[in-house]
Chains A and B, each alone.
Chain A
Amino acid sequence: MDEISEEDKLDRQLREAAPYLDDNGFTARVLHQLPAPRCTRRSFRGAILLGAALLASALAYVASDGGRFLIVAMARLAALPTLWFFVVVFGSGILVMTAGAVAAIAKASELQS
């Protein structure tokens, strides 16, 4: 028992004996030596995604005879009975929500690891 308290005493003395070292510009020196942030790479990635989305939209527009498929799809939806229309809207909502939740969970587990 005495031995344990003596060990605790020694540990406490050791902790107290270690002085807190003031920063004195140490952090600034470290930050000064860090490599440049990756923002250029991030914005480049964003530009690629935006470019790909625009190109895909333009191709879809041209390939579908000026977006005619959209007008046809809207007309079909409008012709649906109310109950079926509600089912399609509800199903689409669930689908989008599930995709969002899966993406959020994947990002969270990536951050945790």
Chain B
Amino acid sequence: MELTDADLVARVLVDDDQHAFGELVRRHQSSVRGMLRQLTRTDVALADDLAQETFLRAYKNIRSFRGEARFSTWLYRIAYNCFREDARRRKEFVGIDEEQLQAEQDPQAVDSALRHDLMHALSLLPLHERSAVLLCCQNGLSHDEAARVLDIPLGTVKTNVLRGREKLKRTLAEWGPN
């Protein structure tokens, strides 16, 4: 019988079982790294560094996981905080801003396959809409869970998801049916 996330967390808490934590990492690494890759606009190295930081923080603070939300939701929240802190630092040092990054997107890099079109369209969304769409539409979180992860009001999440969806639809429609 496969252990649930809650069982594994209990093992980490009681026995400091690092194998159990390893299993949690194996289960969630793909979704956390995938989300961070989208947030960092496919900067794979940075996303993986942030994902490592996410899991290390999760291990150190596992006692603060109360089991009220899903373990994955708790991880997304840590991952999003890691990303936000890093973005803040980089903004200070490099002066990156959303519009500048958006303008730097290379239109030639657009792949014709739907999968790549979608991921590219997603990466063009502003951060607040991208993160809401990523969590709700791609990772299946409820609006309420996403609001807790992003630490913003429920209504704002709904608006961001709606606007993000609309923009995605528009962008994909502009690129045609292929």
**Residues of A bordering B, CB below 8 Å:** 6-7, 10-11, 13-23, 26-27, 29-31, 33-35, 37-39, 42, 111-113
Do residues A16 and B16 form an inter-chain contact, with CB atoms below 8 A? no
Q: How far does the alpha carbon of A39 sit from the alpha carbon of B15 in the complex, in Å?
A: 8
Q: Note all chain B residues with C-beta closer than 8 A to A37.
A: 16, 18
Do residues B66 and A10 form an inter-chain contact, with CB atoms below 8 A? no
Using an 8 Å CB-CB cutoff, how does the interface string of B15-37 with A read, 1 for contact, 0 for none?
Answer: 01010011001100110011000
Do residues B165 and A21 form an inter-chain contact, with CB atoms below 8 A? no
Do residues A10 and B30 form an inter-chain contact, with CB atoms below 8 A? no
Do residues A11 and B137 form an inter-chain contact, with CB atoms below 8 A? yes
Q: How far does the alpha carbon of A27 sit from the alpha carbon of B119 in the complex, in Å?
A: 25
Partner pick for A20 among B10, B30, B52, B119, CB 8 A cutoff: B30
Do residues A18 and B34 form an inter-chain contact, with CB atoms below 8 A? yes
* A and B contact pairs by CB, cutoff 8 A, 23 listed: A7-B165, A10-B168, A10-B169, A11-B138, A14-B118, A15-B137, A17-B116, A18-B119, A23-B26, A23-B29, A23-B30, A26-B33, A26-B48, A27-B26, A30-B25, A30-B55, A31-B18, A31-B22, A31-B25, A35-B59, A39-B16, A111-B14, A113-B67
Q: How far does the alpha carbon of A33 sit from the alpha carbon of B49 in the complex, in Å?
A: 12
**Total inter-chain residue pairs, C-beta < 8 Å:** 79
Partner pick for A21 among B13, B29, B116, CB 8 A cutoff: B29
Interface residues of B: mostly helix, strand, loop or mixed? helix
A71: min CB distance to chain B, Å: 42
Q: How far does the alpha carbon of A16 sit from the alpha carbon of B114 in the complex, in Å?
A: 10
Q: How far does the alpha carbon of A14 sit from the alpha carbon of B116 in the complex, in Å?
A: 10
Instruction: Give the one of A21, A22, A35, A38 with max B CB within 10 A.
Output: A21
A12: min CB distance to chain B, Å: 9
Do residues B14 and A10 form an inter-chain contact, with CB atoms below 8 A? no
Using an 8 Å CB-CB cutoff, how does the interface string of B48-67 with A read, 1 for contact, 0 for none?
Answer: 10011001100110000011
Q: How far does the alpha carbon of A26 sit from the alpha carbon of B169 in the complex, in Å?
A: 34
Partner pick for B29 among A10, A27, A35, CB 8 A cutoff: A27
Residues from 78 to 119 in B contacting A, C-beta threshold 8 Å: 114-116, 118-119
Do residues B51 and A6 form an inter-chain contact, with CB atoms below 8 A? no
Do residues B25 and A17 form an inter-chain contact, with CB atoms below 8 A? no
> Which residue from chain A places its CB closest to the CB of B68 in the assembled complex?
A113
B140 close to A (CB within 8 Å): yes
Using an 8 Å CB-CB cutoff, how does the interface string of B120-160 with A read, 1 for contact, 0 for none?
Answer: 00100000000001000110100000000000000000000
